[in-house]
Amino acid sequence: MTKHDADQFTVKREPFYKEVGGEVALYEAAYARRMPVMLKGPTGAGKSRFVEYMAWKLGRPLITVASNEDMTASDLVGRFLLDKDGTKWQDGPLTTAARIGAICYLDEIVEARQDTTVVIHPLTDHRRQLPLDKKGELIEAHPDFQLVISYNPGYQSLMKDLKQSTKQRFAALDFDYPGAELEAEIVAAETGVDAKTAGKLVQIAHRSRNLKGHGLDEGISTRLLVYAGQMIAEGVNPNAACKMTLVTPLTDDPDMRETLQAAVETFFV
Ligand X SMILES: Nc1ncnc2c1ncn2[C@@H]1O[C@H](COP(=O)(O)OP(=O)(O)O)[C@@H](O)[C@H]1O
Residues in touch with ligand X (CB under 6 A): 16-18, 20, 43-49, 175, 178, 186, 190, 222-223, 226
Choose from Mg ion, ligand X, none: what does 190 bind? Cβ within 5-8 Å by kind: ligand X
**Minimum CB separation from ligand X for residue 87, in Å?**
37
**Minimum CB separation from Mg ion for residue 54, in Å?**
14
> What are the CA-CA distances from residue 114 to residues 65, 138, 140, 164 (Å)?
16, 22, 23, 12
**Minimum CB separation from ligand X for residue 267, in Å?**
20
Distance from chain centroid for Cα 204? 24
3-class state of residue 124 by DSSP = coil
CA distance 150 to 225: 21
> Which DSSP string corresponds to 91-107?
E-HHHHHHHHTPEEEEE
CA distance 38 to 178: 18
Residue 222 binds Mg ion, judged by CB under 5 A: no
Residue with nearest beta carbon to ligand X: 46
Choose from Mg ion, ligand X, none: what does 151 bind? Cβ within 5-8 Å by kind: none
Q: What is the pairing mode between strands 129-132 and 78-83?
A: unpaired
Q: In 9-46, which residue ranges form alpha helices assigned H by DSSP?
A: 23-32
Residues 6+ apart with CB under 8 A from 133: none
Choose from ligand X, Mg ion, none: what does 17 bind? Cβ within 5-8 Å by kind: ligand X
Residue with smaller CB distance to Mg ion, 42 or 229:
42
Residue 152 binds Mg ion, judged by CB under 5 A: no
Choose from Mg ion, ligand X, none: what does 226 bind? Cβ within 5-8 Å by kind: ligand X
**Minimum CB separation from ligand X for residue 197, in Å?**
16
CA distance 140 to 122: 10
Residues 6+ apart with CB under 8 A from 231: 240, 241, 244, 245
> Which DSSP string corresponds to 204-237?
HHHHHHTTBTTTBSS---HHHHHHHHHHHHTT--
**Minimum CB separation from Mg ion for residue 130, in Å?**
24
Residue with smaller CB distance to ligand X, 141 or 147:
147
Residue with nearest beta carbon to Mg ion: 48
- The only residue of 9, 23, 48, 245 in contact with Mg ion, by rule CB under 5 A: 48
Q: Which stretch binds Mg ion (CB under 5 A): 2-10, 45-53, 167-175, 209-217?
A: 45-53
**Minimum CB separation from Mg ion for residue 263, in Å?**
25
Choose from ligand X, Mg ion, none: what does 222 bind? Cβ within 5-8 Å by kind: ligand X
Residues interacting with Mg ion, by CB under 5 A? 48
